[in-house]
Chain A
């Protein structure tokens, strides 16, 4: 009996302890971490609150620090690293980045390398499979192979990794960032390959946009003459980055490209499912004005890159100081150096170029096993690359990806088993040994010449890098290796059976478009088209129409510019899309037949100033109206989008057609017996919008239909854990306004730098320096960012004292 009661007690205790020590799967998407260790205040989430915002001076002994390094933390929690040599500087940057953003660094490289399933199980297997098939790891490995050839730079990457790894080595499981505890896994060592993967993931975000399948389908469905009418290459109202009249006589090295015609496959439509309404919304603004236009006579440089807004934020602010370098700005957790920033003499900022560097090739299999394909009439064996995807709580998944001369076969055409689609991406193998020294040198540059030679080494993803110096120069270069294309190449799916059907060379940076000290005294890039049509090298891509035009307009009007004016401009919610579209829509409305409620909305819109302000209703009405109008007009494309991707004409073209060709045949709604015109669609979509708005504003939680409620800007947690994100941010802005906030995207860092001496710099991002959700520095900057305010940045010339510092970490050997 006593033995029995002991055994019962023992069994209960062990069973319960076992139950509390293992994750519990509630449904395929929700797994609860082991309750015992997660709730234990000694090991679990409570530990992440231990001394989180308690800043005290510390001495930390680290094995690979060669001399003493001081990391001073200021009251915005920005680390200012003062090192005595480059090695220690990189090492300390790795260390302090890991200290604040360790989990983010892990997850950021996991997605791109197709390793999510290792921690999340079968539910992410398809994402991993697609990412493996697109050859992202292949690209990173190619980059690394090249980087190893330049030992000096490679050593920097290793040192950076060592800083991260020495931080990890000192951790016990109770110190792990909370996400590791929630998802029940451990941090792993950092490697230069992971830095390469991070670069590739940025390229995936910024340099993989194309509409090849969509364009090919549109051409087949609508014919060539309609295609040219629906999708013109250039918007006549555009304001290119490099203004008209620029001489191209500096272009020397690009080989002459034969004016051959590129051939596209004929036959079936491509039925590869892609979400045509998906708009990545990644864009950015940068501009600079010369001293001639500013009040104090110094150039001012501004930058706000728009990216998917997340917590932790993609950016980490830092100052780097060692002999030969004193730079400040934002870094990407995973890449050494400052990416957007300034030093004592220069400032630089980046926006995405948008050139098309990803092409699809139709592969014709030469046998049923698909082990070879036809090239120039002969069969050629594919290369296999084995992808082993480890899946948590399940068997590993093995995928054999076929590589052609163009690249990996990503999609098989199941409707037509004779064909496959291979992806040719510049970023797969464009890398050079000194690619990574581009930012290394830029951080240390002091004038235009040094900026020029530093950026010459830049490879991918292609960016518009704007520059201003204390000496008074302003400039902008389009940077990144670009394919030397034949005219029109890359617009449609290409025939993969002809080896001459694609670029053979890349354009060197020295031949890319650039502008220096223009007569206008300002330069602006906002993802608009790069040049006027006379630029001698062909390029295609997707470009933004509205922000660039507005910034150009404002900068040309402004004079005696102050820092505050630039901050205000960065937060400007005015949109030329609304300015162009609304009057054209309004003049078509038959006001005599409107109900009282409709008339009220009509009048509201009539008075609207085209500013997408958070607390107004007119922007909501306009956005609802425009979306409905566009969807109804282009019903030919939207109705089949689920199975066959087709390009949607651009907004400016839609406005243009309504204004100048209201009887255009595409205005007719296909599945109605009557023949509609643009006027009909405008009226019909207006009434639909009124009903939709009434419905939306009825809901009490929508504040009567306010724009911010409709837009619903959300900053998601990187792992999509809702409690770690921020919802319903009441912020101004619109995709086509300078203040480009949307539901999930927006200005991810705002910076204004005046090149005086000392430099005066301001910055803010919608997040916080700490990656720990228990810290008040996790999301402390969101409030100011929402209001369009920027913080003054503490930039010191040397290791001096400041009352802004809250503690010092001293790294010693």
Chain B
């Protein structure tokens, strides 16, 4: 239950900043919450990956679906013939990678501060 609340809170914050601010502010949000909520490193990277990964993956999927794949087909052609599915996967992968790293960094920051004293 606690995990679920954590995920919901971070997701909401991520969604909010991404409406108005550059994409990388989501990374700061994930790192910040991972630190403030003192999440363990393994869990923090897992949550970060899950949150940003699914968010980017599903949003890209949704936009692609409502667009009948028109823009994904064009952008795919631009990137040496990637299919819309591959573009969506790559978008999700970027979220997984960067979300995970941010979660890990935030969590390790807390550890470094506590034990470093």
Contact = CB atoms under 8 A, between A and B. Distances in A.
Interface string A37-71: 10111111111111110100000000000000000
B109 A6 contact: yes
Given A5-B108, A10-B105, A723-B78, A36 B23 contact: yes
Interface centre among A21, A37, A40, A776 (most CB of B within 10 A): A40
A17 interface: yes
Given A10-B109, A36-B94, A723 B74 contact: yes
Given A2-B111, A6-B105, A6-B109, A45 B75 contact: yes
B112 A3 contact: yes
A46 B60 contact: yes
B13 interface: no
A183 B101 CA distance: 28
Say what secondary structure dominates the interface of chain B: helix
B104 interface: yes
A111 B74 CA distance: 25
B42 interface: no
Given A9-B108, A39-B90, A49 B23 contact: no
Interface centre among A12, A13, A37, A45 (most CB of B within 10 A): A13
Contact of A46 (B22, B24, B71): B71
Contacts of A6: 105, 108-109, 111-112
A431 to B, nearest CB: 40
Contacts of A2: 108, 111-112, 115-116
Contact of B59 (A35, A37, A41): A41
A538 to B, nearest CB: 52
A50 B70 CA distance: 12
A405 interface: no
Nearest to A10: B105
Interface in B71-117: 71-72, 74-78, 90-91, 94, 97-98, 101-102, 104-105, 108-109, 111-112, 115-116
Contact of A722 (B59, B77, B105): B77
A40 B97 contact: no
Q: Interface size bucket, B side? A: 35 or more
B51 interface: no
Interface string A710-740: 0000000000011110000000000000000
A178 interface: yes
Interface string A4-48: 011001101100110011000000000000011101111111111
Given A13-B27, A13-B105, A47 B97 contact: no
B63 interface: yes
Given A2-B111, A16-B98, A46-B63, A37 B74 contact: no
Given A3-B116, A6-B109, A13-B105, A45 B71 contact: yes
A673 B47 CA distance: 84
Contacts of A51: 66
A776 B70 CA distance: 8
A778 to B, nearest CB: 8
A387 to B, nearest CB: 33
Contacts of B60: 41, 46
B98 A20 contact: yes
Contacts of A16: 97-98, 101
B90 A46 contact: no
Contacts of A723: 74-78
Contact of B91 (A21, A39, A52, A721): A39
Contact of B102 (A3, A13, A46): A13
Interface in B41-63: 56, 59-60, 63
Interface centre among A39, A45, A778 (most CB of B within 10 A): A39
A47 B63 contact: yes
Interface string B10-26: 00000000111011100
A312 interface: no
A95 to B, nearest CB: 24
A581 interface: no
A20 B99 CA distance: 13
Contacts of B71: 45-46, 48-49, 178, 773-774
B3 interface: no
Nearest to B102: A13
Nearest to A12: B101
Contact of A42 (B18, B27, B78, B109): B18
20 contacts: A9-B104, A9-B108, A12-B101, A13-B27, A13-B102, A16-B101, A21-B23, A39-B56, A41-B63, A42-B19, A42-B59, A44-B23, A46-B63, A48-B71, A49-B71, A50-B66, A51-B66, A54-B66, A723-B75, A774-B70
Given A36-B23, A723-B76, 19 more contacts: A2-B111, A3-B116, A5-B112, A9-B105, A13-B31, A17-B98, A37-B23, A45-B75, A46-B64, A46-B91, A49-B64, A49-B66, A49-B71, A50-B66, A723-B75, A773-B71, A774-B67, A774-B74, A776-B70
Interface of B: 18-20, 22-24, 27, 31, 56, 59-60, 63-64, 66-68, 70-72, 74-78, 90-91, 94, 97-98, 101-102, 104-105, 108-109, 111-112, 115-116
